[in-house]
A and B are shown apart, each in its own frame.
Chain A
């Protein structure tokens, strides 16, 4: 049964010693209650309290980290079924499959492509961070795992049925936290033992949810925390069911045996290359922690990464653009100047229309804490004095020879005041809807 922050607080030492990393016991209790911290972070809690708190304190979906440094992929810690209920926490890690069908030349090429492939979007760097390497040949497996890790820094999912082969391949890169894939009912003790010895996460896989839950129970009993689940769904229909059941059971039923992130292999559910990526998108939206694909085609990887970014955006904290000057279509000193807010959707829509118009334009983007034009105006952020101060310090006066600024039609009412505040500038009221921007620009 879940305990409230206050109930947890009563069981803590109440010394505010900060050893857990939080400023007070109360703050720590609140984090425990929301599944954001683990009881083991408190070195002073009594054994009785620990027993009482144990059930309540662990997050419903365990946190698992694969890889290290910039390439570390953190998954799990999810607390809801629908993103509007709170938010989704960690976008799935995208893993690139290299199996025995990939020859050495193609493997080398994949490493090179992987290294250079990253995309910047809304101030975030997006990329695939994992390789999933499979081989029936233990020596080849170990060699490829080592090479991929050394040359790319990627986190590695090591795939084999053979516990000894998994261990041998993982040992040299154990500090990089590879994922051992996978323990089954046939080799559970050997794989779990190897993972424990090396201090790395491991996956459990089973063809039915009953069997998977049995393996999960063993993990819970042995206190293995960094575990990933593969329900081995036969097709996309079963996969949606399995992913939904696992997430629901973990969160709504507090069923610990499946309280772990999942791994999915859309690349093995169809042979159509583009359809594999569409299937991968289903797993991004529906609950997978690691999504394994078998292509590095940027035209497929980029949309998949953006989908993860979209679905995992905090609904309470919209994505924001950096404040500043955005030159679109190579503007000159004579080009028109428009201003809008830094809500990413506002920016993308307006910038997209300006680019489509092909009219060289300066776009000033003001920090309104990610709010849209009307919302930020109503909140007193996108108002005359604040805009004037921003325009003055933005440096735009050195970029344009004119002193004429176009404001969104929705804030027409501030034009007079803004003109006063700016002094020496002409303020023009533009259009309300981004779709009308091209026509407007061409009419200037």
Chain B
């Protein structure tokens, strides 16, 4: 007997966001369900760049970036030129009041230099300190006037100044919420009430790495996409950004030698698997942009994307 293909049709569509030459989103079905809908734009791979040298990254990453730590321009050129980054995710870590605590003006100047060197769209994020980020990102948005970027993270407690600055200087906004479907929607609503164009919002619903809460992120992403597609919830149809690299490479398994974790194999392989499996799982759940760190896991992720799309 013939197999009746149980296809589903979705009422909603993911918004297509045009980020200075790179387009994400636009899918009319669940991720990679090309048998029942369109996925006009492949998910993109962004690379993380810091404006200061990290002191706690895995030796596997130090091997790749050791020569460009402290030189964000060289770092940017490396990820774009050598590793083929679709986007750059620039973290202005230098501004962290619990760390170097550098000024907003210095960080904004760095951001401008990185954007000019990148040649691909840039997502500019702060250190994660809610108060300082408001100041840093306001300054960055102004300094980057005329160079459209994505400004983030806008959170519940600082979305107003950040959203207003992004809007004023015509940047997109990255809305960050802590792993909760309702909070994600609420922040999108608040940003659009502020006047931010819904087509200029990306959402970061929080990433959990393999073994460290991946299942929570996986399910929140799936529920976000079901709300957007099956329920046609316009406030949930923004493309999703997943900060895979920063979470995956935080895992002990990506940092320590086999002597500290007997029977777990080569540290580098472990790290690549951790990052690539976290990324591909979250792509299946709905991520449109995965932010990665290692060029070899990025290659694996790109190959998986191509295979899932039948390319």
Contact = CB atoms under 8 A, between A and B. Distances in A.
Interface in B1-15: 1-6, 8
A245 B33 CA distance: 11
A209 B7 CA distance: 14
Given A274-B272, A275-B303, A281-B281, A83 B263 contact: no
A236 B211 contact: no
Given A299-B270, A302-B264, A311 B218 contact: yes
For B6, B265, B285, the residue with the greatest tally of chain A CB atoms inside 10 Å of its CB is B6
A345 B2 contact: no
A143 interface: no
Contacts of B208: 345
Contact of B213 (A241, A345, A356): A345
B188 to A, nearest CB: 20
Most buried by A among B212, B285, B309: B212
Contacts of B303: 270, 272, 275, 278
A235 B310 contact: yes
Given A119-B264, A213-B1, A258-B3, A303 B213 contact: no
A315 B281 contact: no
B212 A274 contact: no
B212 A282 contact: no
Nearest to B223: A84
Contact of A277 (B1, B4, B216, B273): B273
A298 B308 contact: no
**Residue from A119, A217, A235, A285 whose CB has the most chain B CB atoms within 10 Å:** A285
A300 B265 contact: yes
A348 B212 contact: yes
Contacts of B310: 235, 237-238
Contacts of B33: 240-241, 244
A274 B272 CA distance: 9
A183 interface: no
Contact of A286 (B213, B264, B267, B284): B284
Contacts of B216: 345
A284 B228 CA distance: 25
Contacts of A19: none
Nearest to A352: B252
Interface in A277-311: 277-279, 281-282, 285-286, 297-300, 302-304, 306-307, 309-311
Interface stretch (A71-79, A98-106, A246-254, A330-338): A246-254
B32 interface: yes
Contact of A352 (B250, B265, B270): B250
Interface string B224-256: 001000000000000000000000001111010
B192 interface: no
B210 interface: yes
B1 A278 contact: no
A2 B296 CA distance: 49
Given A307-B210, A315-B219, A248 B284 contact: no
A252 B98 contact: no
Contact of A274 (B3, B273, B281): B273
A93 B6 CA distance: 26
A315 to B, nearest CB: 6
B307 A82 contact: no
A245 B263 contact: no
Q: How large, as a class, is the contact surface on chain A?
A: 35 or more
A275 B222 contact: no
Contacts of A349: 212-213
A285 B214 CA distance: 11
A285 B281 contact: yes
A108 interface: no
B145 interface: no
B143 interface: no
Interface size class of B (residues with CB under 8 A): 35 or more
Given A279-B307, A282-B284, A311-B215, A82 B226 contact: yes
A383 B310 CA distance: 54
A355 to B, nearest CB: 6
A251 to B, nearest CB: 9
A439 interface: yes
Nearest to A251: B6
A248 to B, nearest CB: 4
A307 B265 contact: no
A432 interface: no
Nearest to B276: A278
A3 B102 CA distance: 66
B6 A236 contact: no
A245 B304 contact: no
Contacts of A436: 98
A253 B4 contact: yes
Contact of B3 (A119, A213, A238, A298): A213
A212 interface: yes
A352 B208 CA distance: 14
A356 B281 CA distance: 26
A117 interface: yes
Contact of A310 (B4, B214, B266, B267): B214
A41 B254 CA distance: 48
Contact of B6 (A210, A237, A253, A257): A253
Nearest to B271: A299
B210 A439 contact: no
Contact of B211 (A116, A121, A249): A121
Given A278-B280, A281-B280, A303-B270, A352 B251 contact: yes
Contacts of B2: 210, 213
A302 B226 contact: no
B264 A240 contact: no
Contacts of B61: none
A359 interface: no
Contacts of A310: 210-211, 214-215, 218
A272 B301 CA distance: 13
A278 B304 contact: yes
B3 A249 contact: yes
A355 B252 contact: yes
A277 B296 CA distance: 14
Given A274-B300, A313-B215, A315-B219, A303 B210 contact: yes
Interface string B268-298: 0110111011001100110000000000100
Across chains A and B, which 5 residue pairs bring their CB atoms closest together, nearest first?
Answer: A299-B265, A237-B310, A299-B269, A236-B307, A298-B265
11 contacts: A210-B3, A214-B1, A237-B308, A245-B5, A248-B6, A279-B304, A299-B269, A303-B274, A310-B210, A345-B208, A348-B211
Given A299-B266, A349-B213, 4 more contacts: A240-B33, A245-B5, A248-B6, A297-B265
